[in-house]
Amino acid sequence: MKEYQTKNPYTTEVVDTYTEDSSVEIESKLKKALAIESSWARMEIEDRCELLTNVAELLIERKEEYAALMTQEMGKPYAQGISEIEKCAWACDFYALNADDLLADEIIDTDADESFISHDPLGCILAVMPWNYPFWQVIRFAAPTLTAGNTALLKHAQNVTGCSLAIEQLFLDAGYPEGCFQSLKAGHEEIEKLIANDGIKAVTLTGSEKAGKSIAGTAGKHLKKSVLELGGNNACIVWEDADLDQHINTMVTARMQNTGQSCIAAKRFIVCEDIYDAFLEKFTAKVKSLKSGDPRNEETFIGVMAREDLAEELQKQVNESIKKGAKVILGNMRNGAYYSPTILTDVTIDMPVFIEETFGPVAAITKAKNREEAIALAANSRLGLGSMLFTEDIDAAMNIISNIPDGAFFINDMVKSDPRLPFGGTKASGYGRELSREGILEFVNKKTVYIKK
């Protein structure tokens, strides 16, 4: 059996050593999930919601512990880890309060004496999750999916195995039956075999486009439903009337939070030329003020990237863009897994930092002649997770919403996930939705019931 280690990207010290689950162990965990499946599905929704409330309470009680664990395993700044855990608790509270209504039968008026749509759980759902938000990505899947009456198996990223096991223990400590939520330490081959197993009814993945295509292909081959939340190349559009004094902090946070390692981060800044100079001055000053350093320090905003190879890949994208004419205004320095906050100007549509997802603290800035060109540049992407527009002209902004076919469009705020709103992308950013009513209904059988008396 294969062993692997998790390492602290800031200190480079080994955090822990793990052994991958064998085929037999994975099969045993699946059997345990299937054994509890029917009784869990029959449990009253009120009782499942009560357990979810327990999860929310434990998350708040343990937020310092969990934040420290994320800092240790993937370098998340500690203060941002605290916020992540608090957001997880919010999602749990949302579904605990609203799941009964969200899952209620939908009465339909037909020729029958009674007809309605019921929402039955599908069964065991496999989740493949990334390292960048080790708790949030899992909880936003698990809270609605378990509360709908499904069981879950989690294949988390290897570098956050400690977080994965902590989440499994969290659900057990909250009172969930054994087998309801389990963590797998599995490689890609074992996951492919698991998807093929009749016991798995659907699969969800948050990750790269490459991983999404692989998972979707395997799921499709076996007629399993899949939900994919893949990469993003979000545009931050700044029209000439934007209130920079009010919104510049938001724009910087939209790019630099989580050390830039966010699928919904603002990666391409498309700025109208009339405000370009003022924007660049204020944006650069704010980025310079961000504190870099030890992610354990509560004042640190920019820590290290989760792995050194990720920082190397980001540097390659930046350097290739510089060769094509991009200019470095700030940063572009790397030391191990640390990559300094970087601002590039003169970015054009043929550069990697415009075309590709840059997963780190790099802001690519492109000047647009006017509003129309800014919108056209923003829409020029294979990806479609979200876009944001800053302007005082709300009526004009409302009129161009459909011009950018992304999964989200935010006006005068950064793109962010919210338990009350559906979250997901279009084009190469994936399909399906998480969170809100749409998220809890992704993994249910929408069953037509038709009654004649």
Number of Cα atoms under 13 Å in the Cβ half of residue 372: 0
Dist CA 153 CA 142 (whole Å): 10
Q: Is 12 helix (H, G, I), strand (E, B) or coil?
A: coil
Contact of 442 with 149, CB cutoff 8 Å: no
Write down the residue that tokens 């999860």 correspond to.
55
Q: How far from 113 is each of 117, 119, 170, 308, CA to CA, in Å? A: 14, 20, 45, 64
Residue 420 is encoded by which pair of tokens? 């009350």
Residues 6+ apart with CB under 8 A from 132: 74, 258, 261, 262, 263, 306, 359
The DSSP H or E segment spanning 140 is helix 136-147
Q: H helices of 22-109, where?
A: 23-42, 45-61, 63-74, 78-102
Q: Is 17 helix (H, G, I), strand (E, B) or coil?
A: strand
Q: Which residues are catalytic?
A: 229
Dist CA 364 CA 352 (whole Å): 10
| Contacts made by residues 343-351, CB under 8 angstroms, sequence distance 24+ | 343/280, 343/283, 343/284, 343/287, 344/318, 345/280, 347/268, 347/321, 348/324, 349/377, 349/380, 350/324, 351/320, 351/321, 351/324, 351/325, 351/326
Contact of 224 with 201, CB cutoff 8 Å: yes
Residues 6+ apart with CB under 8 A from 428: 209, 230, 231, 382, 383, 384
Residues 6+ apart with CB under 8 A from 189: none
Q: How far from 298 is each of 64, 84, 90, 295, CA to CA, in Å? A: 11, 14, 22, 7
Phi, psi of 347 (to 5 degrees): -80, 130
For 287-331, strand residue ranges (E) read 327-330
Contact of 386 with 415, CB cutoff 8 Å: yes
DSSP 135: T
